[in-house]
Structure 1
Amino acid sequence: MYHKQRQIKKLTTYIPAAETFRALASEQDCVFLDSSLVNDLGRFSIIGACPYLKLVKDGEKFFINEKEETGITFEDYLRNYLRDHVDQNESELPLVSGAVGYFSYDYGRKLQGVPSGEKALVKIPDAVLTFYDVYLIEDCHQKETYLVANGITADASEKIREMEQKIRQRTERKEEQRVPHNIIVTPNFEKEEYKKAVDDMIHYIIEGDIYITNMTQQLTIESDKAPLDVFYDLRKNNPSPFGGYMDYGDFQIVCASPERFLKMKKGHVNTRPIKGTRKRGATLEEDLLMRTELENSEKDKSELLMIVDLERNDLNRVCKPGSVKVTELFTVEEYATVFHLVSDIEGALEEGKNFVDLLEAAFPGGSITGAPKYRAMEIIDELEHGKRNLYTGSIGYLTLDGDCDFNIVIRTALHKDGKYFLGAGGGITAESDLEFEYEETLQKAKAILEALR
């Protein structure tokens, strides 16, 4: 659609996207999808600038460029838009035209038809998708930087020149003396309350309501540290393949997620659930011990196996018969503060279906709900103290040629009204140990709490 006016320019000098983003972060709705951990999963980092279409689902209301739309639903509008604005990407870049945004867990809860009796600790829209004219894309493997301008908000050549000028004017971050920030952390569970809720979940499992579920506590953190500074400290000390920073004016998202939810490339779909966590050891010996313990944990393997089964069923709803396969089962991945046990499931999307069909079939991710999904989500709402909001939703991009890549929103802080909101949870099975489950939430919150300090 835009290929005639689109321009793609490879910069002669390689400039990491994180270096450029500081100069662009204050621009309207500028977003950064950050692969600070460069591995097989984290290859590209993406900055979106110059928005031209913003879709917001806020409760029962749907807004297009801030104007309320009552004649069509958010899902139908997006489905139609993707169908009517197909734009082939003939480059090797992950996207040249499309949108970046998020879907909250509560968006998914409503999508699944699960009612909620809980209050929201913080309120933001259920979903935001912003289509951008200009992208800066870093190939973290090849050490190359590209600028893409589609010529929608202004002439593409002009936008390329404008972006190059901003890159030249970028202010490199000087090493400053670190000033500790005091933080006040208020959990929405007392320790014994949390353990009691986990015990109640175990009883639901024993009674046959569910096989596995996920239990979350949420932390409200008072800190005067700027969200952008939190993000840069987090990406430095806890690099991740699916991180990001999003500034929507009255709230900011700081993300360091290790988990892919859904990727689609030319109709090939894959999801990569995480189930099973161990902290990193203080010594090489202790590190190896914790890794081996996770590799040999029957509890964690059975937990992951149940989620793999759920994800296979979700993908089978929209994928070609016989195409859904498990390509990895129990792989241990290493991160700065933890080890994770992961699997990978793949399939081929049916002809005539697009991203919206995939979202409706699989969202929210089974690794953070449990199985069966609907009943697990009902129990989550009953036992957790407050709506999850953004936590365990998804952040990522979708393209106008039908591709997408979205994470699971974990290791993520939401900043609004001078406070940070952070969720931390884990999978619960019949074998779960109450003390261990509580301590695991603290371990998962550790990296962000350190960044906030």
Structure 2
Amino acid sequence: MSGRIQPFLATETRVVPWREPLSVAAGLRGLEGALALLSDGGPLGRRSFVAAEPDWTGGEGGLDLLRDPALSRGVVGLHAYDAGARPATGPREQVWPDLMLARYPAILAFDHRDRTVTVTGRGSDAASARAAADRAEAWLAEAVEAAAPPPPALAMPPEALPEAYLAAVADVIARIASGELFQANIARAWSGELRAGADPFDVMLRLADRAAAYGAFWRLGDRALVSNSPELFLTFDPASRRIETRPIKGTRPRHADPARDAALAADLRSSAKDRAENLMIVDLMRNDLSRVAAPGTVAADRLFEIESHPTVHHLVSTVTATARPDTGVADLLAATFPPGSITGAPKHQAIKVIAAHEPPRGPWCGSLFHIGDDGALTASVLIRTASFELSEGRWRFRALAGAGIVADSDPASELAETEAKILALREALTGAA
């Protein structure tokens, strides 16, 4: 399906009664290019999207492909972390395509607030758009009850011993003390194999009761991704030119006891260390956005808000800007990638330090993005994410979790933070806490 792509010239939309998006996605899981952008229905995740059977896939041309008017809507993409890190790290092993793109003529949009589904068909003329809309509407009838299956993996072993992570954190702290950098996000990795007959969508089903604002499942060929990300990387509205980013920095685990849980959230809110760490990334994102923003429009709208998720509390800030008139999606992604919250400050040096301690990350801490019918961009940060590759009939998986290291970090505490962050994926994959 790769090759020259023709633009969509016609669109047909219909609004139909509500169906649960996960159930609809479950009915399409076996189709080529199966896609489910499943939100929690909250303020940041009002809409979910389900689609399959793209009419074009590609990515070898890099972000410049997004300058093609034919890819201005109906497109989903995955930009791997290493693609953005390579200018700092130099050549490294490529463990995942730098960019994966797919264009969807038919898509379902689920409005969690209004409890309606918008059916969209796109095509070169009215007849093909109508046929695409018919196909999308027929998907609703294929919905199946999405019960959680048994754990699809027997084990999720770490790729390195905890002592290696403790040593890496200590080294980064020493580098910070010497003036080399201020902060770096250092990650651990786990990998393994799914049971015979299990597939990545089983992991998505097991995460259903922990839905995040930017949850996702995507399968193209022999590669798949499952993400339960709570973090927004970017939104961009081409009509108003408004850009928004919401970096996360600062984490505490949730607790079953309500009083203890509230105390953990309060501790995070008042932590001078976590606020300083968050502010560093706010400043980094302000700098990144200034490359494409109209002068004087970059602003930190909200600082140090608490967001609570099923397994963790996070400290989140919001930065906005107004894009210059000549800025498009490709320009915005190029100016800001990889996301600042999972690199560090200064960004270029932090990426080099990360590479000294980690193998290539692949899709983890890259971005999954969607370009809607109005050309608007929504891009997540691929944290709480597992990637999958099919080999000899079995799916192999890899998942990572990291922590932001600063001058007064405690290695043992940072190790514990990675355990809190990987908890939901570990339970989804293996059933073990």
Normalised TM-score (structure 1): 0.87
Most deviating of 26-35 and 405-414: 26-35
The corresponding residue for 1:159 is: 132
Q: 2:50 aligns with which of 47, 53, 60?
A: 47
The corresponding residue for 1:204 is: 175
Q: Is the 8 A contact 1:48 1:100 kept in 2?
A: no
The corresponding residue for 1:75 is: 63
Most deviating of 219-228 and 262-271: 219-228
The whole-number CA distance in structure 1 between the counterparts of 2:322 and 2:98 is: 28
Change (3 A) 1:278 1:28: same
The whole-number CA distance in structure 2 between the counterparts of 1:337 and 1:179 is: 20
Change (3 A) 1:28 1:179: closer
Change (3 A) 1:34 1:27: same
The corresponding residue for 2:107 is: 135
The corresponding residue for 1:326 is: 300
3-state SS of the aligned residue for 1:318? Answer: coil
Change (3 A) 1:2 1:138: farther
Give 1:369 shift: 0.3
Give 1:170 shift: 2.5
Deviations 1:201-247 (A, max 9, x none): 011111111111100011012331421111011122x2100010001
The whole-number CA distance in structure 1 between the counterparts of 2:53 and 2:263 is: 49
The whole-number CA distance in structure 1 between the counterparts of 2:62 and 2:396 is: 29
The whole-number CA distance in structure 1 between the counterparts of 2:306 and 2:207 is: 22
User: Where do residues 243-258 of structure 1 align in structure 2 (5 Å cutoff)?
Assistant: 243-258=215-230
Give 1:180 shift: 4.9
The whole-number CA distance in structure 2 between the counterparts of 1:165 and 1:77 is: 31
Give 1:172 shift: 2.5
The corresponding residue for 2:380 is: 407
Task: Using the aligned pairs only, state the percent identity.
Answer: 32
Q: 1:444 aligns with which of 403, 421, 424?
A: 421
The whole-number CA distance in structure 2 between the counterparts of 1:2 and 1:141 is: 32
Q: Is the 8 A contact 2:28 2:142 kept in 1?
A: no
Q: Is the 8 A contact 1:424 1:445 kept in 2?
A: yes
Tell me whether 1:348 sits opposite 2:319 in the alignment: no
Q: Is the 8 A contact 2:122 2:130 kept in 1?
A: no
Give 1:158 shift: 2.4
Tell me whether 1:218 sits opposite 2:189 in the alignment: yes
Q: 1:103 aligns with which of 71, 74, 79?
A: 79
The whole-number CA distance in structure 2 between the counterparts of 1:368 and 1:306 is: 12
The corresponding residue for 1:289 is: 263
The whole-number CA distance in structure 1 between the counterparts of 2:9 and 2:221 is: 33
RMSD, aligned α-carbons: 2.0
Tell me whether 1:260 sits opposite 2:232 in the alignment: yes
The corresponding residue for 2:90 is: 115
Give 1:27 shift: 1.5
Give 1:251 shift: 1.6
Change (3 A) 1:85 1:131: closer
The whole-number CA distance in structure 2 between the counterparts of 1:205 and 1:85 is: 42
Give 1:419 shift: 1.8
3-state SS of the aligned residue for 2:243? Answer: strand
Most deviating of 301-310 and 262-271: 262-271
3-state SS of the aligned residue for 1:406? Answer: strand
Q: Is the 8 A contact 1:133 1:152 kept in 2?
A: no
Give 1:141 shift: 1.3
Tell me whether 1:149 sits opposite 2:118 in the alignment: no
3-state SS of the aligned residue for 1:424? Answer: strand
Uncovered stretches (5+) of structure 1, i.e. residues with no partner: 57-61, 63-72, 87-96
Q: 2:13 aligns with which of 4, 8, 12?
A: 8
Give 1:166 shift: 3.1
Q: Is the 8 A contact 2:173 2:405 kept in 1?
A: yes
User: Where do residues 287-326 of structure 1 align in structure 2 (5 Å cutoff)?
Assistant: 287-326=261-300
Deviations 1:297-322 (A, max 9, x none): 11100000000000000000100000
3-state SS of the aligned residue for 2:42? Answer: coil
The whole-number CA distance in structure 1 between the counterparts of 2:152 and 2:98 is: 31
The corresponding residue for 2:3 is: none
User: Where do residues 190-201 of structure 1 align in structure 2 (5 Å cutoff)?
Assistant: 190-201=161-172
3-state SS of the aligned residue for 1:364? Answer: coil
3-state SS of the aligned residue for 2:55? Answer: strand
Uncovered stretches (5+) of structure 2, i.e. residues with no partner: 1-5
The whole-number CA distance in structure 1 between the counterparts of 2:122 and 2:204 is: 29
The whole-number CA distance in structure 2 between the counterparts of 1:370 and 1:239 is: 27
The whole-number CA distance in structure 2 between the counterparts of 1:382 and 1:46 is: 38
User: Where do residues 343-422 of structure 1 align in structure 2 (5 Å cutoff)?
Assistant: 343-384=317-358, 386-399=359-372, 401-416=374-389, 417=391, 418-422=395-399
Give 1:381 shift: 0.3
Give 1:100 shift: 0.6
Deviations 1:90-131 (A, max 9, x none): xxxxxxx32012101011113x443155x56xx331111111
The whole-number CA distance in structure 2 between the counterparts of 1:53 and 1:446 is: 36
Deviations 1:23-60 (A, max 9, x none): 1222211211110x22110111012334222222xxxx
Which letter does structure 2 place at the counterpart of 1:325?
A
The whole-number CA distance in structure 2 between the counterparts of 1:196 and 1:222 is: 28
Q: Is the 8 A contact 1:231 1:245 kept in 2?
A: yes
Q: Is the 8 A contact 1:2 1:150 kept in 2?
A: no
The whole-number CA distance in structure 2 between the counterparts of 1:180 and 1:249 is: 23
Q: Is the 8 A contact 2:62 2:98 kept in 1?
A: no
The whole-number CA distance in structure 2 between the counterparts of 1:169 and 1:135 is: 14
The whole-number CA distance in structure 2 between the counterparts of 1:303 and 1:85 is: 37
